[in-house]
Amino acid sequence: MRNSGLRVILGTGGTIAGKASRPGDNVGYVAGQVKVEDLLAGVPALQGVPMEVEQVDQIDSKDMHLGVWQRLLARLAHHLAREDVSGVVVTHGTDTIEETAYLVHSVLRPSKPVVFTCAMRPATALVPDGPQNLLDAVTVAGHPQAQGVVVVCAGQVHAAEHLAKVHSYRTDAFDSGDAGPLASVEEGQLRWHHGVEGVSAQAPDNGLLQRLLQAEALPRVELVTSHAGADGGVVRAMLRAGASDTSLWPQGIVVAATGNGTVHRDLAQALSEAMAKGVRVVRATRCARGRVIPDPANPIPDSAGLSPVKARLALALALLGP
């Protein structure tokens, strides 16, 4: 484990910083109430670890928006550029952690570890899970082999590309699908299952970072689902609304398709009409596991293995342009 080097802890709120009016309440709490320095003070094992703490925001992650992402990206870029910083930990809510982690992975592509962590129980729970997750995250951020954007929860280390929240209540709410977790944290030690080769290494795109930081809004990319009886009415309604108000015009649409990217024929017709009007359309699968296998004959391109919510972000970033 990397014992030297400063670790920066950035707080954004979430359940890990939540408070309830009674200790036994793991549902009726308010997220984003406890300062990140107070969370750290509640983990005695972190005493003596060289750390800097910064509160970026205090938000329930279900309400995540571009402004928070911009502040977080700016602070991450600043700290990662410092020679004395070995890694960064970000505390975040579970609802959209997979989206934020994927965004940071796509934009910053850091060689140093950026470790997101979270909790499924508030800080006031009888047995909160946040302190152990936070300790594990700081451990990963200091490991000499750690790199890139990962998420640490319930003793598992997940790559940002593969992570998905798969349970609404359990403390082990995350899964990496067919890829599986990168590693496990066991009594302060990392046991690698795949190693760091499971984290894509790419050169950073500084131009994309600047375009995102300067954007007033992300390009409008909507998410629709293919299901029994899907008639394409939602897509056509968006096109009609955009015809009279250009701010409502979708620049892209991601369809959460059935199975291996199959789309109800009536919805497919509406998506073809959207594509004819210049709207970018991408197919992902609504299945919890697996991916859309590329089919060159299908006029709607696949999501390259991304889940619907991550495909939406990837398309929005692509639409920001060079």
- Rounded CA-CA distance 150/134 in Å is 13
Q: Kindly give, in sequence order, each residue whose CB lies less than 8 Å from that of residue 3, ignoring residues fewer than 6 positions away.
A: 142
- Rounded CA-CA distance 198/193 in Å is 9
Which one, of 231, 266, 237, lies nearest residue 250 by Cα?
Answer: 237
- Rounded CA-CA distance 191/226 in Å is 40
- Rounded CA-CA distance 102/74 in Å is 16
Phi, psi of 307 (to 5 degrees): -70, 165
**Residue pair 133/154 in contact by the 8 Å Cβ criterion:** yes
The catalytic position among 15, 91, 94, 100 is 15
Tell me, yes or no, if 285 is annotated catalytic: no
Helix (H) or strand (E) holding 70: helix 66-80
| Catalytic residue set | 15
